[in-house]
Each structure stands twice: as structure tokens, then as C-alpha cells.
Amino acid sequence: MPEGTAPSASPAPKRRRTEPDTGKVQVAVQKFGKETRAVNEVDVVLTTITAAIAEYRESLAETNERVPELDTYEREVEYEFTAQDELIDEHKLLQSALRRSGLQQRKLREQLLHVRLERSVRKSV
């Protein structure tokens, strides 16, 4: 052994590389079919929970522990939040369709009033 160096009992622990906190969170969005949809609150919550589970899983990996219940919990959370996400998207689509049908109904009423007005003018002449 070279002079001036002490034998090390164990290698230094690996430090995780952390990125500076920019205040931004990358959110995964479920994509169904060919359409891309906007991010909603459920996406943000699901991403946060998934990140927390992944961090906990990493801490368990350092101690070589395996918790099968954690996998089950993660799948259940993903399933429930994805179902909720789909319901929110469906609700938004229905609201949009309702607005469009209301506009269409107003246009048809205006056309009906216009036709009635024209007929009343023709009768009076």
C-alpha cells in the first residue's frame, strides 16, 4: 500500500445526483387514441403520488427490502386516478357538447323567428 494512504473499510456511498429545484414539475398525461388532451388536477396528483412511491421504493432498494404491497398500492392508485381522470375528461366533453347544443338551439330559434316574421309580412301585404 502506498505510504500516506489508509485502507478504506467500505467504499464511499453513492450520492444521488439532484437537479436544482426550478419549481416546475413534469406531468405525464394519458393519451387515448390520437387526441392529446390538457393537463388537469388529477394528472398532477397522480404524478406527485407516483414520484413519492418511486422515491420510497428507491429508499427501500438501498436496504435491499422488497414490499409487494407497495406494487399493489401503486397499481390501485394508478387505476383509480386514471378512472377519475377519464371521468373528468368525459365531463368536460359533455359540458362542451351542451354549450354547442345551446348555441345551435339559439340559432334555430333566431331562424324560426326570422321565418315567422317573413310569413307575417307576406300575409299583411
DSSP 4: T
Q: Outline where the chain has alpha helix (H).
A: 41-62, 68-124
pLDDT digits (tens, 9 = 90+) for 13-29: 444 455 555 666 666 66
CB-based contact 85:43 (threshold 8 Å): yes
Long-range contacts of 22-26 (CB under 8 A, 24+ apart): none
How far is the C-alpha of 78 from the C-alpha of 84, rounded, in Å? 10
Q: Which amino acid is at 113?
A: L
pLDDT in tens, 72-92: 999 999 999 989 988 998 999
The model's pTM is: 0.56
pLDDT tens digits for 64-73?
A: 777 888 889 9
